[in-house]
Amino acid sequence: MMILFRRILFCLLWLWLPVSWAAESGWLRSPDNDHASIRLRADTSANGETRLLLDVKLENGWKTYWRAPGEGGVAPSIAWKGDMPEVSWFWPTPSRFDVANITTQGYHDEVTFPMIVRGTLPATLRGVLTLSTCSNVCLLTDYPFSVTPTVQNADFAHDYARAMGKIPLRSGLTDSLDVGYRPGELVVTATRAAGWSSPGLYLDTVDDVDFAKPRLRVEGDRLQATVPVTDSWGEKAPDLRNKSLTLVLADGAIAQESTQTIGTAPAQTPDNAALPFWQVVMMALIGGLILNLMPCVLPVLGMKLGSILLVEEKSRSHIRRQFLASVAGIIASFMALAAFMTLLRLSNHALA
């Protein structure tokens, strides 16, 4: 009797194990990329939706990308196999990476992407994840996977809720938000009664437009972000007014995703007003004094002054005319150099 009971228990365990294994793909690595591991998990919720979690683990120093990578990189994507309904992919708040004047938006260490599928699904979900990972080099890697959803798994529900907690909210961060455009710049202005501690701005993709790193300025409860804008060739950007833009504004652990129609930004006011003329003259005099005290100039001036003092038969007016002639020659030389450099600039040329 005991032997029969053990056999029945053994068979039940074998029937149960494939179901638990199929609820996730397990950690997958590619022989072409040992810097990243991915795992896909699936669960069917009480309201008939199928929830997915894509886990990505990266080695130290490696990163992957947000849905809008920025000036480089490729966003993660899945090519589903079979008759697959539309998948709603949720993106956690990214971080910004700046390398060699190239700004990108993405994730490091580890990240979990929650997804929801509504409709009739195949019994087993199959597809290929394409993931871009970068460090000093960039790798574009494919990960084939298959997973069979479980039914209302408590551990999965906890992980899914935690992952959704990192998705930007639709409201709750800003009291007001305005997006405007002026030639070459996008201006985002937001107010928050609680103030700003560590703000961040992440912009979605706009066709034929490249956004550079935002310049952030906080004044009390007001945040203003100025973003240099060019076209995809690095030239003059198209007019962005009346176009729709999705952005994520973050402050610490709180983030808000908003879609705004771009308006007209006020004309740019210089951060630093023009210096008064007397200050410019004083700076020029101080610069000239410093130049004359340099070791390559001071001995020459001393020799010239000594030669003048040794010439006793010359009149004071003659010596004064010599000094004025030297000054006129110096000024004329620098004016000629300035005119030459101006002509080069106007003709779009430069000296190497």
pTM higher than the cut 0.85: no
Q: How far apart are the first and last CA of the chain?
A: 94
Residue 47, pLDDT above cutoff 80: no
In the chain, CATH 2.60.40.1250 sits at 19-164
For all residues of the chain together, what is the average pLDDT?
Answer: 85
Q: Helix, strand, coil proportions of the chain in percent (round to 5)?
A: 25, 40, 35
DSSP structure class, residue 94:
-
In the chain, CATH 2.60.40.1150 sits at 176-264
Tell me how far apart the alpha carbons of residues 352 and 343 are, in angstroms, rounded to a whole number: 16
Residue among 326, 23, 62, 3 at smallest CA distance from 160: 23
Residue 179, pLDDT above cutoff 80: yes
Compute φ and ψ for 346, nearest 5 degrees: -65, -30
Residue 131, pLDDT above cutoff 90: yes
Q: Which of 132-136, 175-179, 311-315 has the lowest mean pLDDT?
A: 311-315
Is-contact 124 148, C-beta < 8 A? yes
Q: What is the CATH number of domain 19-164?
A: 2.60.40.1250
Is-contact 105 212, C-beta < 8 A? no
Report the pLDDT averaged over residues 322-346: 83
DSSP structure class, residue 83:
S
**pLDDT tens column, 13-23:** 444 433 333 46
Tell me how far apart the alpha carbons of residues 44 and 124 are, in angstroms, rounded to a whole number: 12
Tell me how far apart the alpha carbons of residues 44 and 51 are, in angstroms, rounded to a whole number: 6
Counts of helices then strands in the chain (DSSP H, E): 5, 21
Token duo for residue 273? 């007003």
Tell me how far apart the alpha carbons of residues 244 and 66 are, in angstroms, rounded to a whole number: 19
Out of 63-67, 94-98, 281-285, give the one with best mean pLDDT. 63-67
Q: Which of 5-9, 124-128, 172-176 has the lowest mean pLDDT?
A: 5-9
Is-contact 288 238, C-beta < 8 A? no
**Which amino acid would we find at residue 330?**
I
> Around 188, how many Cα atoms within 13 Å sit in the side-chain half-sphere?
25
Token duo for residue 238? 């198209």
Compute φ and ψ for 269, nearest 5 degrees: -110, 130
Token duo for residue 71? 């000036």
Question: What is the pLDDT at residue 218?
Answer: 95
Compute φ and ψ for 258, nearest 5 degrees: -135, 150
**pLDDT tens column, 246-274:** 999 999 999 999 999 999 998 876 655 56
Report the pLDDT averaged over residues 89-94: 97
55 in helix, strand or coil?
Answer: strand
Residue among 263, 267, 266 at smallest CA distance from 178: 263
- Residue 180 burial by CB count (10 A; 0-12/13-18/19+): exposed, middle or buried? middle
The third-level CATH classification (topology) of the domain covering 176-264 is Immunoglobulin-like (2.60.40)
Is-contact 42 89, C-beta < 8 A? no
